[in-house]
Structure 1
Amino acid sequence: MTSRYIARHRAATMHSVRTGQFLRTAAGIGLSIGTAVAGTSVAQADPAPAEEVVEDPASSPVDTSPLPTDADGLLDRLNEASRQAEATSDRVVDNNAALEDARVLLDRANEAVTRSAEDADAALARVDEVRGPVTELSQAMYRGATVDPVTAAIGAASPQEAIDRRAYSSALNATRTAAVEELEDALTDAAAYRSLALRTKATADFQLADYGQQQIDLAARTAELDSLKEQISTAVDGMSPEQKQRWVDRNGPIDVDVDQFLNGASAVSSGVVGAALSKLGSPYSWGAAGPDAFDCSGLMYWAYQQMGKSIPRTSSAQIAGGTPVTRDQLQPGDIVGYFSGVSHVGMYIGDGKIVHASDYGIPVQVVSVDSMPFAGAARY
């Protein structure tokens, strides 16, 4: 019986190792889901002080009233509408990525459920296997097969028989105790497998449904903004030469000597800054990431790609994903975020300047780092 118990104990030990591995795997899936959700939340907007109401251009109401006829009013409306369109475009990209991640996590959770069902069945089989010996031992004790060591020794015919009886009694009681513990462990394992796997799947299902609903909401807002983009395009294209120049110059473009900025810079910064500066004059296009047209985060993304480095695709995610940098710590190659919620970005090139893809009708240009409200910076 002792050898049979040892064999079962070894099997139980191996099963416990597998249990631990499964629990870590399932917990990892849950953590991945939580991380994905948290990451998306951070990417959408930076937290603000409780007393401050932070405007979110990706969800603020769209002004669909007729465009102003005066130059200043028209430029202000176009600026606000363009920020809304760019922020919404970023949100769509973020949500599509999160939705795909949720699908992957759900597939992994479903696999975990399948594995847990198999392991739970194995645990229940061990329950049946262990139940027999426990029952036999209990019945043997009921019939008096085991007695306390003192009684066993008193009834012995000789000292050797007393020793044998006592050893047998102790071994039998120890075996019974171990068998009962193994039975309890097997039952606990079976319940843990099913419970954790089903909870993990439920979490993945919820996240997938949540991102799916967000996708529906964003699709409706995108359709609304598509109409607004057409108005922006029509208005900008129909501007008088004077109005169009005011639009292009609204952030104070600066002529730069590209070679001067790259001279003496580090290999990394000169590479990524050089890539971004090589696109000076390229047109702006919502949702574009090169090589011929760009939105603001698309230019950052493309420039880093030329250095073989992948960074997040959208404005707020780019600021959230790198190492935070303060305004006075900026170095060439750092990405600078602007406006609440980080709805716009540019690349610091040194000497208090950034290169950025500004807006529809405005080519990629260099402007002062302080030409827009600073909202943070990140280094990659």
Structure 2
Amino acid sequence: MSGVLAAGVLATALYGSGPASADPVALPTTATEAVQRMVDLSRQTEQLNQQALAVQADLDAKLVVQQEADAKLAATTEVADAARAEVRKFQPVIDRTAIAAYQGARTNRMYAVLVSDSPQKLLDQMSTLDVLSAQTTDQLRQFKKATDAAESAESAARAAADAARGAAQKADQTRADLERKRSELGGAVAQVVEAWGALSSKDKSALAGSPFPPGFDRDTLLQGLVPGSGTSALAAGLTRVGDPYVWGATGPNQFDCSGLVQWAFKQVGKNVPRTSSAQASYGTPVAKGDLQPGDVVFFYSDISHVGIYAGNGLMLHASTFGVPVAVAPMGSTPYHSARRY
């Protein structure tokens, strides 16, 4: 397929066969422009991919909160049920006492004096009244304690129920957002794959490039390797050079940019976050002038691309669709920051 024909096919793949009045500047007119347009579209898709991964991570966190809220609700409900049962245990005694008082029952010492016809009977009545009074007072005290406990437990259960509902609503909202992002990503991926398919073999080969830049010396770079260090993670990552870029992939044979970084550090025992934005908060900051092989480098203002520094201004990264994992210059990508893990 000639370069001009490839550009025309790619333009159709990217934009469809629009009306004749469509802006001609928006359409690639050469194979080079067609490749660049495919790269630009792939770049946008990578941004969507990282956004979708971030929303997935947010959803996972919210689901944990929801599970914890549900567990707390179940626990507080159980406590409230037990507290209500304790109140019911004392309720008959309290009811009888209340009814007796309402009906005018005489239970005080003055009444015993008035109705007693002998000193012994008076002592017996007063002793009985003391026992009854003590029992009633104790039961009233226990009833009050049980009632207070029940009110506190029910208040906690209501608060837990509100928290559980709120957590569920937030999770549902995030889940809906994730579905939208996945839908957008799916559409964008389809466009990139279609656009890539419209390129000539020559253009695909040029896009893929070389896995290593001229003069790259892996052995010298990895001298003095320290187990568990960033350099050892770089060494692990270099074993994946040539593996394909796939959105959302974390290895072991295909990767997206943040998936490659996560995989490489996992091989040396470090649990790095999944997304490029989260990875940019892991470890410690490193100035660009102090970069060492194995440091993690981030790109673009939204931190939507990441790689592992490989010395001499180079990085190991999973670049974009159609470009296998490779070592490449950092200069062509807008630098953001770096971290040392």
TM-score clears 0.5: yes
Q: CA deviation at 1:365?
A: 2.8
**d(CA) in 2 for partners of 1:323 and 1:167?**
71
Corresponding residue number in structure 2 for 1:244: 206
**d(CA) in 2 for partners of 1:81 and 1:280?**
23
Read off the aligned partner of 1:333 and give its amino acid letter.
G
1:35-90 Cα shifts (integer Å, max 9, x gaps): xxxxxxxxxxxxxxxxxxxxxxxxxxxx8476412466445433331121112223
Given the alignment, which residue of 43, 53, 58 partners 1:83? 43
Q: Does 1:184 align with 2:148?
A: yes
**d(CA) in 2 for partners of 1:131 and 1:67?**
83
Q: Which moved more, 1:335-344 or 1:76-85?
A: 76-85
SS of structure 2 residue aligned to 1:267: coil
**d(CA) in 1 for partners of 2:285 and 2:280?**
9
Given the alignment, which residue of 250, 260, 267 partners 2:227? 267
Q: Does 1:196 align with 2:159?
A: yes
Corresponding residue number in structure 2 for 1:220: 183
1:157-212 Cα shifts (integer Å, max 9, x gaps): 9xx99xx999997896576455424322222213422x133223312321332133
1:95-120 Cα shifts (integer Å, max 9, x gaps): 44554555565455545544444432
Q: Does 1:341 align with 2:297?
A: no
SS of structure 2 residue aligned to 1:346: strand
Read off the aligned partner of 2:227 and give its amino acid letter.
A
**d(CA) in 2 for partners of 1:198 and 1:239?**
62
Q: Residue 291 and residue 172 in structure 1: after superposition, are their counterparts in 2 closer, same or farther (change >3 A)?
A: closer
Q: Residue 345 and residue 232 in structure 1: after superposition, are their counterparts in 2 closer, same or farther (change >3 A)?
A: farther
Q: Which runs of 5+ in 1 are unaligned?
A: 1-62
**TM-score normalised by the chain length of structure 2:** 0.71
Corresponding residue number in structure 1 for 2:286: 326
Q: Which runs of 5+ in 2 are unaligned?
A: 1-13, 17-25
Structure 1 or 2, whichever has the larger Rg, is 2
**d(CA) in 2 for partners of 1:146 and 1:79?**
96
Q: Residue 168 and residue 116 in structure 1: after superposition, are their counterparts in 2 closer, same or farther (change >3 A)?
A: closer
Read off the aligned partner of 2:192 and give its amino acid letter.
K
Is the 1:95–1:214 contact (alpha carbons within 8 Å) kept by the matching residues of 2? Answer: yes
Corresponding residue number in structure 1 for 2:91: 131
**d(CA) in 2 for partners of 1:215 and 1:348?**
31
Q: How does 1:99-114 map to 2 (within 5 A)?
A: 99=59, 102=62, 106=66, 109-114=69-74
**d(CA) in 2 for partners of 1:179 and 1:304?**
61
Read off the aligned partner of 2:149 and give its amino acid letter.
D
SS of structure 2 residue aligned to 1:84: helix
**TM-score normalised by the chain length of structure 1:** 0.65
Structure 1 vs Structure 2 CA RMSD: 4.1
**d(CA) in 1 for partners of 2:248 and 2:148?**
58
Q: CA deviation at 1:346?
A: 0.4
**d(CA) in 1 for partners of 2:305 and 2:147?**
61
Q: How does 1:2-151 map to 2 (within 5 A)?
A: 64=15, 67-70=27-30, 73-99=33-59, 102=62, 106=66, 109-135=69-95, 143=105, 145=107
Read off the aligned partner of 2:336 and give its amino acid letter.
A
Q: Residue 236 and residue 296 in structure 1: after superposition, are their counterparts in 2 closer, same or farther (change >3 A)?
A: farther
SS of structure 1 residue aligned to 2:264: helix
